[in-house]
A and B are shown apart, each in its own frame.
Chain A
Amino acid sequence: MSLFGKMINSVVGGEDSLSPRIVITFDGRGSRLYHPGETLAGSYWFDFVGGDDIHAVECSILWHTEGKGSEDMGVHGFWRYALESGDWIDPRRPGRFHTILPQSPLSYSGILIKIYWSVRVRLFLSDGREAVEDLGFRLGNLPDVRTLKPIDFI
Chain B
Amino acid sequence: MFDKSFGNSKRSFSNPSGGSTRTGVPLRLAQHRWGEPIFFLLILLTGFVVFFIQLWTWAIPQLTFYQEFVPSQGKIIDTRIAETVVDTVTVFRPEVLLEHQVQGISYRVWTFDFRTLKPKEGFVVDRQFAELSLLSFRPGQSTVCWYRNGYPDEAVVVWKTSVWGWFFLLLSFSLLVSGLVGFVQSFRLVAVSAERKAAQSLFVSPLHTLTGDLRQLDWSTVPDIRIINESPGTHLAFRLPIGNQPIFPLVGLVLFTLSWFIISFVIMFHSFLGSVENRSDQIIGVIFRVLFCGVGLLLLVSVMRRLFLVFRFAPTLLEISDHPLYPGRKYRVLLQQSGILQFNYFLVNLVCEEVARFRQGTDTITNRKEVFRQTIFRRHDFAVTPNLPLHQEFFFCLPIEAMHSFRGENNEIHWKLELCVQIVGKPEICRECPIVVRPVLLNDLTLEGGGL
Contact = CB atoms under 8 A, between A and B. Distances in A.
Interface residues of B, number: 84
Contacts of B220: 74
Nearest to B356: A69
A30 B219 CA distance: 29
A56 to B, nearest CB: 9
B27 A129 contact: yes
A37 B403 CA distance: 17
B87 interface: no
A148 to B, nearest CB: 5
B6 A21 contact: no
Contacts of A20: 24-25, 27
A95 interface: no
Nearest to A70: B410
Given A60-B199, A122-B193, A135 B20 contact: yes
A138 B356 contact: no
A48 B409 CA distance: 39
Interface in B357-382: 357-359, 367-369, 371-378
Given A128-B29, A129-B29, A30 B438 contact: no
Interface in A98-141: 99-100, 102-106, 108-116, 118, 120, 122-125, 128-138, 140
A134 B8 contact: yes
B408 to A, nearest CB: 3
B25 A19 contact: yes
A107 B231 CA distance: 32
Contacts of A132: 11, 25
B399 A151 contact: yes
Contacts of A26: 18-19
A69 B358 contact: yes
Nearest to A43: B19
A92 to B, nearest CB: 15
A142 interface: yes
A110 B354 contact: yes
A78 interface: yes
Given A13-B29, A68-B358, A136-B3, A58 B193 contact: yes
Contacts of B372: 145, 148, 150
Contacts of A124: 30
Interface string B37-52: 0000000000000000
Given A78-B210, A80-B210, A113-B354, A153 B403 contact: no
A118 B195 CA distance: 12
B211 interface: yes
B28 A12 contact: yes
B27 A13 contact: yes
A74 B21 contact: no
Contacts of B3: 136
A111 B369 contact: yes
Nearest to B412: A113
B86 interface: no
B217 interface: yes
Contacts of A51: none
A124 B14 CA distance: 24
Interface in B181-218: 193-196, 198-199, 202, 208, 210-215, 217-218
A143 B371 CA distance: 13
A122 B439 contact: no
Contacts of A110: 354, 369, 371, 403, 413
B7 interface: yes
A131 B195 contact: no
Given A122-B193, A134-B7, 10 more contacts: A36-B439, A69-B355, A105-B222, A128-B29, A130-B193, A134-B8, A135-B12, A146-B371, A148-B372, A154-B377
Closest CB pairs A-B (n = 10): A69-B356, A13-B27, A25-B19, A72-B408, A116-B7, A136-B6, A19-B24, A150-B374, A78-B199, A60-B195
23 contacts: A14-B26, A14-B27, A15-B25, A17-B23, A22-B20, A23-B20, A23-B22, A32-B6, A48-B24, A75-B214, A78-B210, A85-B208, A100-B213, A102-B217, A116-B6, A116-B8, A128-B29, A136-B7, A148-B352, A148-B371, A149-B399, A151-B397, A153-B376
